[in-house]
């Protein structure tokens, strides 16, 4: 993890769930789909506890997109649930996003510099690790429903 030490606190920006170092990712940075979509729903997962004197500035959110056009690669049209690192709700609901297939059968949203977007993944490229994993024995769809229900109660 990357951290910056301030007089009273450490601010941690999580790059990938479960990442403990600045080592190269196990899979190449590439995308499986570049889509035009509208954000329908944005639900934060539980903010990770990083200990005393620490603030988490970015953590995994569950985002429901309405994909209206696939610009490159392959992704379904219509509603699509994805994982995205963010700090708060995004106001701009119309967007283009780069998606990376993950090992849960869903997609991670990539943070992309528009001046240098990643290359498309090769067909043999293994799926990326998801930004967050449901507890053992819990299906991703059930995890999404439980997270949204918990958020709605708050």
Annotated domain spans of the chain: 2-19+28-113+126-153
Burial of 108 (0-12, 13-18, 19+ CB in 10 A): buried
Global pTM value: 0.74
Question: Where do we find the tokens 């007089």?
Answer: 7
83 has pLDDT over 90: yes
Where does the pLDDT of residue 39 fall: very low under 50, low under 70, confident under 90, or very high at 90 and above? very high
Predicted pLDDT at 27: 53
Where does the pLDDT of residue 34 fall: very low under 50, low under 70, confident under 90, or very high at 90 and above? very high
Bridge-based pairing state of the strands 10-13 and 30-31? unpaired
Instruction: Please measure the distance between the N-terminal and C-terminal CA atoms of the chain and give it in whole angstroms.
Output: 29
- Helix, strand, coil percentages for the chain (3-state, nearest 5): 10, 45, 50
Where does the pLDDT of residue 29 fall: very low under 50, low under 70, confident under 90, or very high at 90 and above? confident
């Amino acid at each position: 993890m990357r951290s910056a030490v301030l007089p009273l606190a450490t601010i941690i920006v999580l790059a990938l769930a479960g990442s403990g170092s600045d080592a190269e990712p196990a899979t190449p940075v590439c995308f499986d789909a570049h889509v035009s979509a509208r954000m329908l729903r944005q639900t934060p997962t539980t903010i990770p506890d990083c200990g005393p004197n620490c603030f988490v500035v970015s953590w995994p959110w569950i985002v429901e997109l309405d994909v209206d056009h696939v610009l490159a690669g392959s992704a379904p049209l219509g509603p699509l649930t994805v994982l995205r690192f963010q700090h708060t709700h995004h106001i701009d609901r119309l967007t283009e996003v780069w998606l990376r297939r993950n090992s849960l059968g869903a997609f991670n949203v990539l943070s992309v510099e528009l001046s240098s977007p990643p290359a498309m993944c090769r067909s043999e490229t293994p799926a990326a690790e998801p930004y967050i994993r449901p507890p053992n024995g819990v299906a991703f769809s059930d995890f999404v429903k439980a997270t949204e229900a918990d958020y709605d109660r708050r």
